Structure 1
Amino acid sequence: MSIFKFPIEDLEKIKLLIPHREPMILISSILSASENEVVSSLLIKENSVFLDKDLFSEAGIIENMAQTAACLEGLKKNSVTSPTIGYLVSVNNLKIISLPKTKYTINTMAERTFSFNGLSKFKIDVMHNGQLIAQSELTTAIEDLNR
């Protein structure tokens, strides 16, 4: 599936897989991936733009979910030169159980449950220390700019 070896911890390699740049990158490493699943981790740093006091915000959790899902498309393309733009179309059934603190590491698991013609649905779980802290279903769209 990919030319990458896991875990991917090099920020420059992660940048090949998602369109985000600092300070908006919310993935510290990609732990594993298969055709329809990816697991990322994020160390929540004190300088994150998504902090509210010492808690990682709801918006940060959603953005981390979206970036984790985007990794699957990046891994599939393996940085092929055909440019694409990705869109977060919808967030459904969002449940945030608790907000992680600064210096915590969260693991985000994204499973693609549907894909057709650039449109994908994902089931997402966010964990901290083996405990579920958030979950949702995301729908994304990928636009090939060469069409």
Structure 2
Amino acid sequence: MSQSITMDYPLAHLDVAEFIPHRAPMILIDSLLEHQTDTLLTDVYISSQSAYFDPVTQSVPNYVGIEYMAQSIAALAGIEAKAKQEPIKIGFLLGTRKLKLDVKAYKHGEHYHTRVTRLYQEDSGLAVFDCQILHNNEVVAQANVNVFQPQDTQAYISDSIQGQEEEK
């Protein structure tokens, strides 16, 4: 069912904001490139307008790549939700494993592609993704990213706050 989005519309012409719960200026990925079941490829173009751009180094620090990965995961979830005619839900980045950053920064004027592939997902909303950031088809960052997307975000947040208050 999710394939219909990629077959009906060229992904690169779709607005990323329609698929993720983030809003400007915190939308860090620029476009959706390729979608297959459990996998999405996105693009980031580094410009002086990019979030976290450092004008001194003319780059974005490498650690921002974790957010490129997380937003690409969110976009995949958004594509899947839209295909099912469901609302876009908020998810939470729980952590990473096997994080490897092979570049110190993402350079001005360059495109970077982020590929996210679902490795595992529980009915509870817990999932693990294999993520890679590529520059000129060479892997420059990679990680396994653990995320959680509760069925009812508001209830989850309320329960978390209530639990913290009870601990005090």
Q: Do both share a fold (TM > 0.5)?
A: yes
Q: Which residue among 61, 64, 67 is the counterpart of 1:60?
A: 64
RCO comparison, higher one (Cα < 8 Å, 6+): 1
Alignment match, 1:76: 80
Question: Could you say if the C-alpha distance between residues 28 and 108 of structure 1 is closer, same or farther in structure 2, counting changes exceeding 3 Å?
Answer: same
Alpha-carbon distance in structure 1 between the residues aligned to 2:116 and 2:135 = 15
Alignment match, 1:111: 117
Q: CA deviation at 1:7?
A: 2.5
Gaps of 5+ in 2: 156-168
1:126, 1:132 within 8 Å by CA — same for their partners in 2?
yes
Q: How many residue pairs get matched?
A: 145
Q: CA deviation at 1:97?
A: 0.4
Tell me the secondary structure at the aligned position of residue 29 of structure 2.
coil
Q: Which residue among 32, 35, 43 is the counterpart of 1:41?
A: 43
Alignment match, 2:164: none
Q: CA deviation at 1:6?
A: 3.0
Q: For 2:10, give the aligned amino acid.
A: F
Q: TM-score, normalised by structure 1?
A: 0.88
Alpha-carbon distance in structure 1 between the residues aligned to 2:94 and 2:14 = 29
Deviation track 1:118-145 (CA, whole Å, cap 9, x = no partner) reads 1110001111112211001101111222
Q: Which residue among 90, 95, 98 is the counterpart of 2:100?
A: 95
Gaps of 5+ in 1: none
Q: For 2:140, give the aligned amino acid.
A: I
Tell me the secondary structure at the aligned position of residue 28 of structure 2.
coil
Q: Which has the larger radius of gyration?
A: 2
Alpha-carbon distance in structure 2 between the residues aligned to 1:43 and 1:94 = 22
Tell me the secondary structure at the aligned position of residue 114 of structure 1.
strand
Alpha-carbon distance in structure 2 between the residues aligned to 1:81 and 1:115 = 18
Alpha-carbon distance in structure 1 between the residues aligned to 2:107 and 2:13 = 21
**More helix as a share of residues:** 2
Alignment match, 2:165: none
Q: TM-score, normalised by structure 2?
A: 0.78
Tell me the secondary structure at the aligned position of residue 75 of structure 1.
helix
Identity between Structure 1 and Structure 2 (%) = 27
Alpha-carbon distance in structure 2 between the residues aligned to 1:124 and 1:26 = 16
Q: For 2:102, give the aligned amino acid.
A: I
1:92, 1:138 within 8 Å by CA — same for their partners in 2?
yes
